[in-house]
Amino acid sequence: MAKGKAPGNNHPNSRVFIPKGKLLAIGGKESKSENDQSSGQSKNINFISEQILKRFVKELKGENPLVAIVPTASSVPELSAQDYIEVFKHLGVDNLEVLDIRNRLDTLKPEYLETVKKAAGIMFTGGDQLRLTAIFGGTALLEAMKERYAWSDIIVAGTSAGAMAMSTPMIFEGESEGGYIKGDVRITTGLEFLKDVAIDTHFIARGRIVRMTQAIATNPECIGIGLEEDTAILVTEGGKVEVVGSGLITVVDGRGITETNIFDIQNGEPFTAKGLKVHFLGDTEEYFIPSYTRTQLK
């Protein structure tokens, strides 16, 4: 598929609000360098390949750009933050600030708000996406981040849980193997940088297409985007997606669903869905999120 021929809707018309910022959602369990392709990846879940991180750095604007590292999702935030400090310095970025936010009171610290106002980039590490939404949801700090994304040329990135939290709806738990049982896929409101989009990570490696399908079957207006490991999407203009990395992304489009029993069956029963469209896209391919012509941050 040639660039510019990707599935999805046409470019939105000029009357639709288009955020000025960029999003980089990363699939997780990534190698930390081009020479670390497979061995030891399980120990490097907070790293992203040089290709993806270099793209993040390339998108930073201004001289000596400031990057804010947010390790809130991690159970070991000090180690997670230090990992990123080392990697960014290796890539030539020295102006780094860690937002060491571990509870909702921490979001009130004025120095963190000032960092967000000045940052050229924000990086959410991996961990637990529910920790991110429970701590940041409804806070002035999150509002400041979304204001920056709406009105300035900032790049907001997240890996694994940090990527899943960017979207609304947000999958935060799946109990049954594969996610085919109704009620075993749990969804809440994400950080809402992207609306009407559900992002899932480690997608092919962990067989998550069925749990994504269940999430989409409950509201086919939403688009599901599954990110494979060491693979990311760069979202510009509010919904123009470019794939970056060594793997594939999977797009689950349920707008054409012709039949589903998700509303008739009881919890604990397997669901069905017919008429879905699924796209698999690799490095440099593009996709236009159909819902982004309706997206409003405010």
C-alpha dihedral, 150 to 151 to 154 to 155, nearest 10°: 20
- Alpha-carbon distance of 118 to 35, in angstroms, equals 34
- Alpha-carbon distance of 287 to 8, in angstroms, equals 6
Give pLDDT, residue 173.
Answer: 81
Domain ranges in the chain? 22-32+45-291
Tokens for 76, please give them.
């070991």
pLDDT of 157-201, one tens digit each? 999 999 999 999 999 987 656 688 998 899 999 999 999 999 999
pLDDT of 40-81, one tens digit each? 333 344 456 689 999 999 999 999 999 999 999 999 999 999
- Alpha-carbon distance of 158 to 141, in angstroms, equals 16
For β-strands 249-253 and 223-227, DSSP reports them as antiparallel
Q: What is the mean pLDDT of residues 268-289?
A: 96
Peptide bond connecting 220 to the previous residue in cis, omega within 30 degrees of 0:
no
Cβ atoms of 232 and 281 within 8 Å: the answer is no
Give pLDDT, residue 46.
Answer: 46
Tokens for 106, please give them.
């921490």
Give pLDDT, residue 133.
Answer: 98
Cβ atoms of 259 and 205 within 8 Å: the answer is no
Of 155, 175, 143, 219, the C-alpha closest to 26 is: 155
- Alpha-carbon distance of 214 to 40, in angstroms, equals 32
Give pLDDT, residue 111.
Answer: 98
Residue 218 Cα distances to 27, 161, 211, 214, 279, angstroms: 23, 22, 11, 7, 20
Cα 159 to the center of its chain, rounded Å: 7
Check whether 2 has a pLDDT greater than 90.
no
Counts for the chain of helices (H) and strands (E), in that order: 7, 18
User: What residues form DSSP beta bridges with 243?
Assistant: 233
Q: What is the mean pLDDT of residues 13-23?
A: 79
Confidence of residue 235 (pLDDT cuts 50, 70, 90): very high
Cβ atoms of 52 and 185 within 8 Å: the answer is no
Phi, psi of 85 (to 5 degrees): -60, -45
**pLDDT-above-90 percentage for the chain:** 78
- Alpha-carbon distance of 160 to 176, in angstroms, equals 20
- Homologous superfamily, domain 22-32+45-291: Class I glutamine amidotransferase (GATase) domain (3.40.50.880)
- Alpha-carbon distance of 12 to 21, in angstroms, equals 16
pLDDT of 93-130, one tens digit each? 999 999 999 999 999 999 999 999 999 999 999 999 99
Angle between helices 110-118 and 140-151 (to 10 degrees): 10
Check whether 4 has a pLDDT greater than 60.
no
- Alpha-carbon distance of 144 to 74, in angstroms, equals 22
Q: What is the largest CA-CA distance in the chain?
A: 57
Q: What is the mean pLDDT of residues 280-294?
A: 85
Residues in the chain, how many? Answer: 298
Give pLDDT, residue 277.
Answer: 97
Give pLDDT, residue 35.
Answer: 45
